[in-house]
Copies of this chain bind each other. A is one copy, B any other.
Amino acid sequence: MARIAIASDHAAVDLKDLLAGWLRKQSHDVQDLGTHGSERVDYPDYGYRLARAIADGDADYGVAICGSGIGISIAVNREPSCRCALVSEPVSAALARQHNNANVVALGARLIGEDMAKACITAFLATDYEGGRHDQRVAKLSHPSLTKESV
C-alpha cells in the first residue's frame, strides 16, 4: 500500500473526496490536503501544497485535481522533484509510470467521469517504472543542468 497525498481546488472537491475514500478502502495511507468545502480557492495553493508533500517525502504519490487538471498540473510541476502527468485515460496513466517515473497524476474533474478517474489511478498505481533508457531523461527533468541543450 502507498502513501498518497490528494489535493484539489473547489471545482474538484467532490471528485477529490470520492477518490480519497475509494483509495482509503484499498488500505492506502491517504493524506487529504484539501480544499475542504465549496469556498472558492486558488488551484496553485493546493498544487504547491501537494508538491511539498512529495518533495518532503511525506507521500510516495500524489493525485492533483482541478476543473480541467491543467492549472494544478502546472503548479505541481514547478517543483523539480515532482513529475506530474495530466491524464484522461489509463493508457497515459500507465505510460507516465513506465517512461517518466511520474509520482503525481492530475485529473480534470469537469472533463473526466468517476469510473475513468478510478481507472486512471488504478493504472498509475499498478504500473512500474521501466528504468533503462528512461533514466537519463528522467534525471534531466530534475536537474536541467544535465541537458546538453541548457548549457
In the complex, 28 of the A-B residue pairs with CB atoms within 8 angstroms, ordered by the A residue number, are: A40-B133, A42-B136, A43-B137, A44-B137, A44-B140, A45-B147, A45-B148, A46-B149, A48-B147, A48-B149, A52-B150, A67-B95, A68-B92, A70-B96, A70-B100, A70-B102, A71-B137, A71-B141, A73-B73, A74-B84, A75-B141, A77-B78, A78-B78, A78-B144, A85-B86, A88-B89, A91-B111, A92-B111
Does A80 sit at the interface, judged by CB under 8 A? yes
* Extra pairs beyond A70-B95, A71-B141, A88-B88 (14, CB < 8 Å): A44-B144, A45-B148, A45-B149, A45-B150, A52-B150, A67-B95, A68-B96, A68-B99, A70-B92, A70-B99, A73-B73, A74-B102, A77-B78, A78-B78
Interface residues of A (CB under 8 A from B): 40, 42-46, 48-49, 52, 67-71, 73-75, 77-78, 80, 83-89, 91-92, 95-96, 99-100, 102, 108, 111, 133, 136-137, 140-141, 144, 147-150
